[in-house]
Structure 1
Amino acid sequence: MKFVSFDIENMFAYNGTCSVDLSETQDGERNIVLIKGRNGAGKTSLLNSAKLLFAGAQDESLRRVGFSRTALTDKQYVLGQPGRWSGVFNKTARQQGHNRASVSLCWTEGGVVHRARRTFVGQKSFSAYSELVEFGPVSSPLDGNAAEDALQAMLPRELVPFFFFDGEQVQSLADAEIGREAGEIERLLGLHFVAHLIDKVNDDANRRSRARLPVDVMKSVVEAENAAREARANEAVQARARVAAEEELLDLEARRARLDGERQRLRSGTLSESEAKRFHDRLEVLATQRQTLADELAERLPLEIVFRTQPHLVDEAFAVLDRQTTADASLAGRLHAELPAMTVRSLTTIEDPVTLNAKQQTDLQNDIRESLRTLGVVSGDQHPVLASLSAKKTKALRDRFLVWRSRGAADFAEERAQLRRMRELVTETRRLRKELDEAELSTDEARARYEEITAEITRIGEAIRDAMQRSAKALVDEKGFAHEAVGHDERAVQEMKEYKVSMELDEGYRFALRAKRALERYLELRRSRIRQSVEDRVNQKVAILLAPSELVKSVRLDGQFIMSYFDQDGEEVSRHSISAGMRQLIAMSMLWALKEEAARSIPVIVDTPLGRIDSTNRNLLMRDYFPEAGAPLILLPTDTEFTEIADDLLGEHIRRRYRIDNEGGETAKLMPVEL
């Protein structure tokens, strides 16, 4: 395969047809196409177009846009949703009457030009759309399901993130703690078909084994297996929700970091050293006062707040305790013992006497005793609620309530004053910080932009908290469904246990089991060998990209391809002690190793390629990683990422350069730049 071009027509930010020339990128060392553009010019549109070509609008990760927790529907994603998402169709092209948007990849194979193309056609004034896929020789391409299957064989949609990615987001590969990429990695490395075959053989074994089961047992087994399948389906749903939330979280954090950097750049640093010191000294004093006040409130309020704020409950509790400690216990006992019977007897002596049967007499006496208890006249030494307390402890509790009763209002007034003071300290701190920020903003325009960015960062912070909560909930639910599925599996096994000997008499069942075990041994052996090969490759790349670091010197992969990190002494390093930039380098090492192991010929596209990487490691990436990362490799940096120094380091590997021109945000064009 020799790649020819990557083409976009009327899609996202691109109006008209734009083509990236990929020819000659697989010949020799000039494998890189460099496409520069400012933020918002259309770099991410190029990346998303490539994802859309292979994944289609059905891919949920593509349809998760903005800060919302829910993905757009296919229709909303393609046609747009007012106020949230503009859609796949370029806005300017739509206004000009164009109703087609497409993305395609062209290559030659055996001298024949091939093309993979996905086209969206707007219908009925863009109230509906159709999606068309073509694949194969341009003169006689496949279409429909056949084309979709061929496209998925070239690059399955779950593997798209390995080839088209944002440099700042790949650290999710390094952050994985529970094997979220294991399935995708196995498919990338050609192991997926073995697992699929094992499932098929297992299904056949189960079908044969059940032929000897009684009908009622068969019904119970099927019900248990159906319940297990449903639990695993729910587990998969929660796993996808967790992964989506984690990816959204990484995206939000990257956006917040970029905005925070822009906000810091707006500050001109015009304050004098003495003025700045005055602000910071006052902020330190306020912080100390807040901490002292917080400690006092934390010590007092949690234990006594209910007694400060509910005086009527304090009064009622005190009354019960007071009666308990001052009442004549012997009198209370006599009342409970004698009053009910005396009342019954008195009914027979009144004029027009009342005669009760035995049950009525018992009920009346019980009602009288209950009335006495309600009024606080309790037979015995203790109120039922206080039965476990000694007389001494009851008196101490009564004295404590007496203090709350007499001092509650005054104490609460004092604590309210402390809370008001805390609010004043917080307000003053915020005011000083705002004044400090505004004092270093030199123009009204900068001040307005600063406030706009601050508001946006606040919204992103709320979205980050929401994503973290959703991720945590999905993880708990995922584990819960996994446990539930295991329980149903065990129930099915238990149901069949009694008939196991009979089932094993079936020759076909025994053969299927032998085939399944052989395939499982083969899969484990292949996985072990590939895992070791990938681990060796990763460590080769880590030795290159993390050479200046003393923190991480090697990586190990477990059976699920989860990475653990080790320093030069072989001691394990916590992933939480590794910076975001270093995790990005580790993730790129993994992607580099996986691509070599998979030996799959697909262009690689990297948006924001240098992300949070410092200058030393940027040089390593440009010198060692990018020349090997893809053939072709399309890099989408901002002007500030790729300086003249970067161009010099990477220059001999760059086959073509483009600049994105986009005046109004909806008219992006690719402009060739002379080498």
Structure 2
Amino acid sequence: MHKVNSLIGPSVDAASLANACETYRLPLDLLSQLLTVRKRFEGGGNRRRLYQAFDTLLTGEASENPTDVSSSSEQVHGHVSLRQLAFKNWKVFASTAVSFPDFDPSEPVVLIGGKNGYGKTSLLEGILYCLFGKSALSERSRLLGEANVAGARGSAYRQFIQNAFHRPGKDRGETSASVRTEWNTPDGILVVERRWYFDDVGDMHEDDETLTLFTGADYHIMPVPDGAEAVEFYQSEIERRLMTVGSAFFVLFDAEQTSAFSEKNLDEQVRAVTEGAFGLWQLRATVDNLRSYSRDRARRQDRQGNEQSKVVSRLLELRQDENRLDQEKARVSGLLDKARAERDDGFSQLVNLQGDGTFASMHELLEQRQALSLEQARMQHEYTGLAASTLPIALAGDKLKASLLSALAADDHREDGTSTSFQNQAVLERLLQKMEELGGKSPDARPQIEQAWHALAGSHTEVSAALNHPFLTPSMRVAVRERLQRHRDDFAIFADVSAKLSGLVAQARETEEAIQQSSRRDEEIAQTKLKLTALHQKVEELERELDTYSDRSVAIEAEISCYRAMLDGDDQDGGDATVNRRPVDYALGLADKIELVSNELLPGCFERVSAIVTDIYAALAHKGSIARIEISSDGKVLLFDRGGKDVRSLDRSAGERQIFAMALIAAIGNLSTVSLPSIIDTPLGRLDSDHRERLLLYFSSRNVQTILLSQPEEINGRYLDLIRKRIGGYFLLDHHEVSNGVGSSVATSGYFNEVAA
């Protein structure tokens, strides 16, 4: 691995870096020297020393074999865990230390509880600034998109450290603060200690800071190679054995800051995180430094009347214009992508509304409603008639109907004039005698005739003189009897009519609902068409704006090429460019090459990030709406559902945005060559209960040390029960007031009182 990798970060593929440098004719050794110089003078409030170093380097006066401040060993592989923290006069800590339990994969979690203001964030910041000093401040500013200048200048860093000086210690006349971190690494124990020194009034000057590394169980000071600058060498060892400053913010992070980070555009998040984790931000910072150097030196030459400086100045102006155009193009391109996605969704919605075969036309629905209304009125009339005639008979019951039929039969019999003759015995005797005289019957037939006669007489023994229903004529009795005898058929007819009427009522209701739904659909179609018209106009406007920017970019690039050719021609006229090169235009050329190399490396970095972040997001998000996350070669984030549709344009909740940011951060942590611990301040933030559970389960299930800094009501109750079996240690930050609202915190064993699950 070339030493450039140790300067920008080991996550970058060494072969890809070497190939890119070869493609753009950028010597790796020269790139290494530029990075070394930039890191050496990084964050200085005055760039004079950096520009002087560039003068020496770019005029060919630098050593052909510059001192390599990085370790000659390869990046280590294996587990890293935090053994101990010690603070002296750092923020709320006057003097306290925390000794962590040995890392156990079955119990990787350490809980540190603390109320707001008791030192959770101070603890996290102490680790960051102990490891990276002023680089931590500039990297935080870059990652969160804050004013880069404020984060990079030494004055901002000095102000931060002066504010971090424990006030009671300052009042007591103490003159130093320190943070000491002790780590288990694959190379053994590594102790990093950074001290800051202050004058009598509490001010810190640029050189009032020391960084010391100790190794082994006996804590021997790590020796510095001959010719190497101690701080540079120690910093390179921290990055080799532990982490780079770019990856530190994805290992040690504040979830509240993650919330702020999550508000950034997804593409901006991905670029910021990827450039930080892979160290490419250092290449871009070097590009900015070289162009600023060229601008500064060109102004000096311009004041001396140098014509070439005017060319350089114009080139720098064009580069600034080009960068502004690139930013505007990226902004407009993002708006255009969103507008196109919204337009496509609108077209899909319109097709669904217009092409749904379950809807009849409004005219057909109105005709259907009229026909149903007429048929329902007719059926209602029939139903009413049946209800008045048939229904009462059907409901009277069989026993009552049988009694009525019997009474009607008796009335028929009473009106029969011969009914009393069969009861006269004398009449019977005269009948029999007459039959014998006529010879019609023998005496043997007499018993049968008498039996039949008496039977006829017996059927009328109970008949009285009065009729049961005298108001009925014989024909009416016949009609009533026939009606009663067929009542079962009438009841079936009534039931059939009732069912048909119910069906008509249901059809009418469905038709009315369809009419209302069709009316609403027509309104939606009209609104969707209006929305589509507006979106189409917006897309056309953005496309024209993007074309305008692209045309301007082409024009600027052509002008840049013209001015570059002028400078290249001057170099050729001047002879050997390696000897006679002018640092101003040479720096511009190098800046262009480094920028091209950085752009060449980014797609491969994006590809590695997208594969990991998909798996982690699936574990953290409780919704299954996103099945795959892709990052294109130009850094655009695409969110696909299970059907393969890009759903990025859909609005996501604040919790979902934070989950994406945390998934991205966790993914970057997985790219390191060592298994680094995660130290998370206020991990649950503004997440809902489902996301909280998933986040806790994810971070507690990994085979790395995980230190969670929690508020009292955050990891407690059921959330504490959820990960209890994975917790290997508990600590509590306790705070004591000293005077006038100023206090001091210490770390003790234990945790908050548990609340009900």
Q: TM-score, normalised by structure 1?
A: 0.50
Task: Give deviations 1:451-508, integer Å, cap 9, x for gaps.
Answer: xxxxxxxxxxxxxxxxxxxxxxxxxxxxx99999997664331135589899999999
- Distance of aligned partners of 1:496 and 1:618 in 2 relative to their CA distance in 1, 3 Å threshold: closer
- Aligned mates of 1:589, 1:646 — CA distance in 2: 20
1:189 aligns with 2:266: no
Q: Name 2:220's counterpart in structure 1.
A: 139
1:92 aligns with 2:168: yes
1:539 aligns with 2:614: yes
| 1:101 equivalent among 162, 172, 177 | 177
- Distance of aligned partners of 1:668 and 1:61 in 2 relative to their CA distance in 1, 3 Å threshold: farther
- Distance of aligned partners of 1:499 and 1:660 in 2 relative to their CA distance in 1, 3 Å threshold: closer
Q: Is the 8 A contact 1:163 1:603 kept in 2?
A: yes
- Aligned mates of 1:595, 1:607 — CA distance in 2: 16
1:24 aligns with 2:102: yes
Within 5 Å, give how 1:571-590 maps onto structure 2.
571-574=645-648, 577-590=651-664
Task: Give deviations 1:14-57, integer Å, cap 9, x for gaps.
Answer: 121322x34522x4232222101112211111122122223424
Task: Give deviations 1:538-589, integer Å, cap 9, x for gaps.
Answer: 111222212x314433322123544333334333334671111111111121
Q: Name 1:49's counterpart in structure 2.
A: 126
Q: Is the 8 A contact 1:198 1:516 kept in 2?
A: yes
Shift of 1:641: 0.8
- Distance of aligned partners of 1:79 and 1:593 in 2 relative to their CA distance in 1, 3 Å threshold: closer
Shift of 1:670: 0.7
Shift of 1:632: 2.3
Q: Name 1:10's counterpart in structure 2.
A: 89
| 1:492 equivalent among 548, 556, 560 | 560
Q: Name 2:717's counterpart in structure 1.
A: 644
Counterpart of 2:251, as a letter, is F
Shift of 1:610: 0.4
RMSD: 5.0
1:179 aligns with 2:265: no
| 1:126 equivalent among 202, 216, 227 | 202
What stretches of structure 2 of length at least 5 have no aligned partner?
Answer: 1-79, 225-229, 292-304, 332-547, 579-585, 753-757
Q: Is the 8 A contact 1:10 1:100 kept in 2?
A: yes
| 1:224 equivalent among 310, 314, 326 | 314
Q: Is the 8 A contact 1:63 1:77 kept in 2?
A: no
- Aligned mates of 2:718, 2:200 — CA distance in 1: 52
- Aligned mates of 1:482, 1:166 — CA distance in 2: 40
Q: Is the 8 A contact 1:4 1:22 kept in 2?
A: yes
Counterpart of 2:127, as a letter, is A
Q: Secondary structure at the match of 1:573?
A: coil
Within 5 Å, give how 1:155-174 maps onto structure 2.
155-171=243-259, 172-173=261-262
Counterpart of 1:224, as a letter, is R
Task: Give deviations 1:92-122, integer Å, cap 9, x for gaps.
Answer: 2333443221112212456753222221122
- Distance of aligned partners of 1:658 and 1:484 in 2 relative to their CA distance in 1, 3 Å threshold: farther
What stretches of structure 1 of length at least 5 have no aligned partner?
Answer: 203-214, 243-479
Q: Name 1:557's counterpart in structure 2.
A: 631
Q: Secondary structure at the match of 1:667?
A: strand
- Aligned mates of 1:8, 1:590 — CA distance in 2: 31
- Distance of aligned partners of 1:550 and 1:128 in 2 relative to their CA distance in 1, 3 Å threshold: closer
- Distance of aligned partners of 1:57 and 1:592 in 2 relative to their CA distance in 1, 3 Å threshold: closer
- Distance of aligned partners of 1:183 and 1:11 in 2 relative to their CA distance in 1, 3 Å threshold: same
Shift of 1:147: 2.9
Aligned length: 408
Counterpart of 1:139, as a letter, is H
- Aligned mates of 2:140, 2:568 — CA distance in 1: 48
Shift of 1:168: 3.2
Q: Is the 8 A contact 1:229 1:485 kept in 2?
A: no
Q: Name 1:39's counterpart in structure 2.
A: 116
Shift of 1:164: 2.1
- Aligned mates of 2:203, 2:290 — CA distance in 1: 46
Task: Give deviations 1:334-389, integer Å, cap 9, x for gaps.
Answer: xxxxxxxxxxxxxxxxxxxxxxxxxxxxxxxxxxxxxxxxxxxxxxxxxxxxxxxx
Q: Secondary structure at the match of 2:707?
A: strand
| 1:593 equivalent among 660, 667, 687 | 667
- Distance of aligned partners of 1:595 and 1:144 in 2 relative to their CA distance in 1, 3 Å threshold: closer
- Aligned mates of 1:90, 1:197 — CA distance in 2: 35
Q: Secondary structure at the match of 2:189?
A: strand
- Aligned mates of 1:668, 1:16 — CA distance in 2: 8
Counterpart of 2:97, as a letter, is C
Q: Is the 8 A contact 2:734 2:748 kept in 1?
A: yes
- Distance of aligned partners of 1:181 and 1:23 in 2 relative to their CA distance in 1, 3 Å threshold: same
Q: Is the 8 A contact 1:32 1:627 kept in 2?
A: no
